[in-house]
Amino acid sequence: MISSAQRTHRGYKRKYNEDTILTHPDCSLFVVADGMGGHSAGDLASQYIINELLKLQLPSDNLQFSIEQIEATLSDVNHKIHSGHLFNNKAINNQEIVAGSTIVIAYIVDNLCCCLWVGDSRLYIFRNNKLYQITKDHSLIQDMIDRGQLTLEQAKCHPNANVITRAIGVDSSLKVDSNHFEIQSGDKLLLCSDGLYNEISNDVIVACLQKKNTDHIANKLLGEVLLGDAADNISMIVIEKQ
């Protein structure tokens, strides 16, 4: 058995909320999509992704088939956004639409979680009072860290910290990364957009996840972000394995 809570907020400095989140009513499918491209583009892209995933009927007895269904949906969505079909090939304010979205997905069947992601939205697992990042950002900063050109400390204040290298709708082809892992009783999962983890430290995230009740945790996380600048949209889903 699992429990979950979700929150999304525009933040203080963005005019619109381009994030969209999903807790599927018929299966344990959880999604955070962080749209980009401005109002009527980024929010439309992220909402379209969620709407298409919401249509899925995923059999719990065939995990591989379910994952293939999710990946096929993301590929189709990528094509429609990239080709302009989603926007009826029209411009907004006489400018060509450039839209896309990052995405992070957790699909849970029994004691197995499959995480799929594109971009820099993240999935963390909190186990035995320790926080582990399951996803690896598709970002310029992460690429520089991997090449040894940047330390983690330098990355925090780098001017290109918001540049991502992969997103749904940006390129004609889509590569989705995935990670499968077992979950245990007492584990907590956190799916979130960068508007959360860029605003508060891992220590603060840990302190919030130590609380009981997913609703309380979600409220606490959002509250901690809103105590600061909250310069971006903030979205999260907190999941606990009973």
How far is Cα 187 from Cα 240, in angstroms, rounded to an integer? 6
Question: What value does the mean pLDDT take over residues 28-45?
Answer: 88
How far is Cα 43 from Cα 20, in angstroms, rounded to an integer? 7
Where do the structural domains in the chain lie, given as residue ranges?
2-241
Angle between helices 63-83 and 42-54 (to 10 degrees): 150
Q: Which fold has domain 2-241?
A: Phosphatase 2c; domain 1 (3.60.40)
Mean pLDDT score across all residues of the chain? 92
Give the pair of three-digit tokens for residue 38: 């401005």
pLDDT of 157 above 80:
no
User: Residue 150 carries which side chain, given as an amino acid letter?
Assistant: L
pLDDT of 94 above 50:
no
The pTM (predicted TM-score) of the whole model is 0.94
210 vs 37, residue with greater confidence:
210
How far is Cα 66 from Cα 71, in angstroms, rounded to an integer? 9
